[in-house]
Structure 1
Amino acid sequence: MSTHAPRPSYAAVLRVPLARRTFSAALTARLSYGTVALAVLLSVTRATGSYAVSGAVLSLFGATTVFLMPLRASLIDRHGARRALLPLSVLHGTLLCALAALTWRPGAPAPAIATAAALAGACAPPLGPTMRAVWSELIGDRDLLRRAYSLDGVAEELLFVSGPALVGALVGVAPPAAAILLGAALNVCGTCVFVTSPALPGPRPAPAGRGRRAVRGLLPPVAVALGVGLALSAVELLVMAFAAERSYDTALVPWVLGALSAGSALGGLVTGAVRWRTGTRVRLWRFAAGLGVVLAPAGLAPGLWTLTGAMALAGAFIAPALTTAYLLADETASEDTRTQAGAWVNTAVNAGSSAGALLAGLLVARLSPGACFLLAGATALAAAAVAAGPLRAARAAPADAPRSA
């Protein structure tokens, strides 16, 4: 079911048969993940009157969503997306509706709210990894597949920017719990359309012994995803600390972080458009190293606008590093573990983001922002060093070598 595009461009990606239909449905469902975190935070805070409770509930929701994702992805590989994805989405949406009902008015018991949130996260369908596996089914040309992954990554980043804005508009006219209902509706409706696409692969029983080899081969992309997640979430707090230390108006901080996002989006698009001569593994560690080299001295910036330029440059390595990590996971995985491979990279990014925010909060209280930026850069460089480990294999293989059967 693969196709070869004569013009490897972003337009060519969307001209692939079934691509627009499948991708638009997946994006609709994935928009739910851009709305639900803020919606849960606002609605639980309103229902309980406690920021501590809302933070704990959101942490539970995030933990079950992230750390159980590889398990849910294994269901997709084992039983096929049509049979496994829709039940997960319906159960996820139902539990979100229960959470919305509990938090619609103040006074709900915190244990019931926490249980509903944790169960909803545990059932969240792995839509991103599934869509990336579908791209590999639709597209056989490696150059065009790289553009598809870049387009997917940039679109996902835009979803996480537009999702909170959508929640903000909705809570102006309705209770915050209504935004949870919106997330449930987006997830279930988008998934219903997504699973009707003929592009979705069926079940693939795992041949004996392959899964273990696939997991071992995932170390470089997972390490880079973890390192990027750690560094990125730390930077968001470090920019705030930098502005406070230099007595800048903290209202300017979103503009600095916006430069980081803009640089990431532009870097992702450029990465997909360039015809690379180096192999995927080589590009992976170089992108991670580039991020580390830019972040490490960023805390020495003489002013906030200089830091803004540094953040834009750092961002230019983020989407390329993550896109390349997903590509390498796809190349490494066997046919029967493709969704799981993408899920492990996704889990590493999100786990790194959670841990990075916590660690940065502890370090900022003890170290200067400059020292913390240096540690953030060192984290990315350490991830690059791990990814550079199998360089002999990378040099022996031609650039973007086709996957083995």
Structure 2
Amino acid sequence: MSGYVALLREPLVARPFVASVVARIPIATAPLGLVLLVRTARDNYTLAGIVTGLFAVGLAIGSPLWGRAMDRVGQPRVLVPAASVSGLFLLLLTAATVWTAVPVLVLPPLALLAGGFFPPLSPAMRSTWRVVVTNERARRRGYALDAAAVETIFVGGPLLLSVLLLLGITPLPLVVTVVLLVGGTLVYARSPGARRVLPQPPGAHGHGAGTALLHSPGFALLLVVIAVMSVGFGILDVSMAGLAEHLLGSADRLGVLFAPIAGGSAVGGLLYGSRDWRSHDRRRLLVTLTVFGSLLFTVAFAAGEGIPFPVLLVVLFLTGLFISPNLIAAQGLVDALAPGHRLGEAQAWLSTAITAGAAVGNAVAGVLLDVAGARTSLGVAAAAVLTAAAVCLLAQRTWSAHQRDPVAVH
């Protein structure tokens, strides 16, 4: 851990990193907060699902647009207005939900707009890592630390929400979410580290500037791999709720199953970032996807009757070890495949692929749980990840031909 501690002692690193973590907590609290608020105020699970789904759709659509804007005009001029508008729509959505005289038809458009203006903080922070950390090994540790922080957010966000709900004020979780989003983004955008990320000069957009990233075979293949992998993620998340209900008697005990897999992901990210890898990101992604998918099949088996519960927890932790390395390798491959002046937009497209794939997986898992149960659903999640690994294998030659020297990217 000494390398990570030394990294965080750098003033240009610590302030933007901590601020970005705070600003990204709403990634976990906003969707769950919306579900709970709509369910409580409107007593309608279907409406809650529609509102949350449209928030995710807006997020998927808006991320690449804001990422490209950051590349062209700089981070502060994009992040602060986007966060402020997104926060405003979240507050309007909260008020419209609680005030039951407002027609339900008003809620879905507000959710779509709140998600559409949500700032692309993860791509922004990755750009900051590239600029303020000049040593390649230290930068790789920064990427791993960032991935581990995101995993912690997805565990800590719901816990924070639970604490706020104990106060008995229904709109409070979303109000706090807005404060974290806007306040964290403002501190991040004003930090000296983030301000070092300069927009590309107009001349830098001359060659290939008008070519859509999605027209690049290598980049498009990567998005397919990540989207299919994320379908597995989405199925896994919902399957954990079904498994908790099956094994522990209540989906409310999801945290007992989710903690080891999320904790394993955080540990795996830190271990991955602490090593000096000689192989290419494309090859490491193939390995981590294959192992992750295989372990998911093991989880499905360990969830069966007669398997000791502690064994399942150990398998979940081992499976989690390979989640963050998948994402870190994919981010590195994005940097190697995308044009230097489009890296913010490229990383935002990666976020969109993850969000869209997970949303599909969530929907598929709901059907699978109703029809076949949690073990079958987990098996399908494993199959999705291994399908992504198969596409990754087929894409190796294309990626080798199209990727640039990662050192040159930085």
| Aligned equivalent of 1:156 | 150
| Aligned equivalent of 1:262 | 263
* 1:197 maps to which of 173, 187, 191: 191
Distance 1:168 1:208, change over 3 A: same
Q: Distance in 1 between matches of 2:44 and 2:92?
A: 20
Q: Which runs of 5+ in 2 are unaligned?
A: none
- 3-state DSSP class of the match of 1:124? coil
Q: Distance in 1 between matches of 2:212 and 2:119?
A: 25
Q: Distance in 1 between matches of 2:183 and 2:370?
A: 45
Q: Distance in 1 between matches of 2:253 and 2:30?
A: 26
Task: Output aligned runs, 1:156-235, within 5 Å.
Answer: 156-200=150-194, 201-204=197-200, 205=202, 206-210=205-209, 212=211, 214-215=213-214, 216=216, 217-235=218-236
Does residue 1:58 correspond to 2:52, yes or no?
Answer: yes
Q: Distance in 2 between matches of 1:169 and 1:275?
A: 40
1:169-224 per-position Cα deviation (integer Å, ceiling 9, x unaligned): 22322522222221111111111121112333222242332564854232454234
Q: Which moved more, 1:21-30 or 1:228-237?
A: 228-237
Q: Distance in 2 between matches of 1:265 and 1:400?
A: 28
* 1:306 maps to which of 306, 311, 319: 311
- 3-state DSSP class of the match of 1:388? helix
Q: 1:287 touches 1:321 (CA, 8 Å); kept in 2?
A: yes
- 3-state DSSP class of the match of 1:9? helix
| Aligned equivalent of 1:352 | 357
Q: Which runs of 5+ in 1 are unaligned?
A: 1-6
Distance 1:361 1:393, change over 3 A: closer
Greater per-residue helix proportion: 2
Q: 1:279 touches 1:397 (CA, 8 Å); kept in 2?
A: no
Instruction: Kindly tell me the number of residue pairs found equivalent between the two proteins.
Output: 398
**Normalising to structure 1: TM-score of the pair?**
0.89
Shift of 1:390: 4.2
Q: Distance in 2 between matches of 1:284 and 1:210?
A: 28
Percent identity between matched residues is: 30
Distance 1:103 1:252, change over 3 A: closer
* 1:334 maps to which of 339, 351, 375: 339
> What letter matches 1:43 in structure 2?
L
**Normalising to structure 2: TM-score of the pair?**
0.88
Q: Distance in 2 between matches of 1:75 and 1:401?
A: 23
Q: Distance in 2 between matches of 1:272 and 1:118?
A: 36
Q: Distance in 2 between matches of 1:213 and 1:140?
A: 29
Q: Which moved more, 1:261-270 or 1:27-36?
A: 27-36
Distance 1:396 1:17, change over 3 A: farther
Shift of 1:289: 0.8
| Aligned equivalent of 1:278 | 279
Q: Distance in 1 between matches of 2:238 and 2:90?
A: 29
Q: 1:69 touches 1:347 (CA, 8 Å); kept in 2?
A: yes
Distance 1:283 1:197, change over 3 A: same
| Aligned equivalent of 1:3 | none
| Aligned equivalent of 1:318 | 323
1:305-324 per-position Cα deviation (integer Å, ceiling 9, x unaligned): 33322221211111110111
